[in-house]
Amino acid sequence: MRSTPRIAAAVAALALAAACGSTEPTGTAAPAPGVSGFTPPKIEALASLGAGEGQVNLVAWAGYVEDGSTDPKVDWVSEFESSTGCQVNTKTAGTSDEMVNLMKTGEYDAVSASGDASLRLIAAGTVAPVNTSLIPNYADVFSGLKDKPWNSVGGVSYGVPHGRGANLLMWRTDKVSPAPDSWGVVFDPASPYKGSVTAYDSPIYIADAAVYLMATKPELGIKNPYALDDKQFTAAVDLLKQQRGIIGEYWSDYTKEIQAFKAGDTVVGTTWQVIANLALADKAPVEVTLPKEGATGWSDTWMVAAAAKNPNCAYKWLDWIISPKANAQVAEWFGEAPSNAKSCAETADPKHCDTFHATDEEYFSKVYYWTTPIPQCLDGRTDVTCKDYAEWTRAWTEIKG
């Protein structure tokens, strides 16, 4: 198990970013490859690699670009700089909105975009398609992460996958019985755990309600939790407004969630595997599961700016960060599954990939990765308009009251 400082840095980074019918998943979690619902601006990908420009300017989540300044033992940047001649300059962003705005300035070459930002960047023409033939390590990326709606449009890749993780259900084993296997435990208005339930504090959490409704209310016809028409969106929002009555507190600060579970103030709710690991290290009696309805999750994407001043160094960085060794290092430091299949042989903890289900495609087939909601329905429907992220944001404000 990783040390507390490493887990703290990892989770803090992600915490700043911004998830009556059959209870089985209604299909594979990821929509059809390349489904996007819109036509992006026509921008050509880099045709060939040239000499490095001497530097690369990155926008990234904390913990994604470590050069030894946080911890002398945690450094996958220095070797990149010495081997390529590309000096890495990093701007750490706290939210997806900040990332989008920073990339719009034209001052940065590449960004580690989450799914609630990637389509915004593509639609605005801020990032360009990537020529994966110029990125040798892309060949070893898990196939379950390639050509997905949050990183590709119409079969054209707009970046390389950084890693992935799921939003899980966590509970105190001494307070919650029997062990839950469904999100119903956090949505039941008559829950015996009223006042001790927690949920992630972000508009993207509306998708978690949609995942539950997709399984339990099939008559709504939800096929993609990020593609919600008016009726579907209203149902998800209503469920979350109902859930508000049993919520003790929403969380975005991982330390507060851990403390709440440790103290017993919170006994059940959403979490990440890395948070569960830290809670267990702090002797909190907790367990986690991927509920039978499925779950939301994340897979961040390294993308190249359409107006990159240092495109060659940007491509070199994309290849480096998904190389087996570097990808293993960042996955362990941040607390997620690596994107490169060969990284599992490079992790310091030989059990890391097992803990984070890196090679378990059956596990990840039940995960609906964060994707930016847009008016053009991501499930392929053309006869209705879906709610976009701005409407999700307004609804979340109403949900929380």
Q: What is the CATH topology of the domain spanning 168-271+373-400? A: D-Maltodextrin-Binding Protein; domain 2 (3.40.190)
Q: Concatenated DSSP letters for 42-111?
A: --PPP-S-----SEEEEEE-TTSS-BSSS-TT-BSSHHHHHHH--EEEEEE-SSHHHHHHHHHTT--SEE
Query: Token pair of 125, please?
Result: 């023409």
* Residue extents of the structural domains in the chain: 4-164+299-369, 168-271+373-400
Return the pLDDT at 350.
96
Whether the Cβ atoms of residue 172 and residue 285 lie closer than 8 Å to each other: yes
Return the pLDDT at 37.
56
User: pLDDT tens, position by position, for the chain (401 residues)?
Assistant: 223 233 333 333 333 333 323 323 233 343 333 345 578 999 999 999 999 999 999 999 888 999 999 889 999 999 999 999 999 999 998 778 899 999 999 999 999 998 889 989 999 999 999 999 999 999 999 998 999 989 999 999 999 999 999 999 999 999 999 999 999 999 999 999 999 999 999 899 999 999 999 999 999 999 999 999 999 999 999 999 999 999 999 998 778 899 999 999 999 999 988 788 888 988 999 999 999 999 999 899 999 999 999 999 999 999 999 999 999 999 998 889 999 999 999 999 999 999 999 999 999 999 999 988 999 998 999 999 999 999 999 999 999 98
CA separation for the pair 8, 383 (Å, rounded): 46
Do 4-164+299-369 and 168-271+373-400 come out as alike in CATH topology?
yes
The separation between CA 21 and the C-alpha centre of its own chain, rounded to angstroms, equals 28
Return the pLDDT at 95.
78
* H/E segment holding residue 118: helix 115-123
Q: Is 60 exposed, middle or buried (0-12, 13-18, 19+ CB in 10 A)?
A: buried
CA separation for the pair 30, 279 (Å, rounded): 30
Return the pLDDT at 116.
84
Q: How far is CA 24 from CA 236, 263, 338, 401, in A?
A: 18, 33, 27, 32
* H/E segment holding residue 4: helix 4-15
Q: How far is CA 141 from CA 132, 136, 306, 325, 339, in A?
A: 11, 10, 23, 13, 5
Q: Check: CATH 3.40.190.10 for 4-164+299-369?
A: yes
The conformation of residue 395, written as its DSSP 8-state character, comes to: H
3-state secondary structure of 169: strand
3-state secondary structure of 286: strand
Q: How far is CA 286 from CA 48, 299, 364, in A?
A: 51, 25, 22
Return the pLDDT at 275.
84
Return the pLDDT at 234.
98
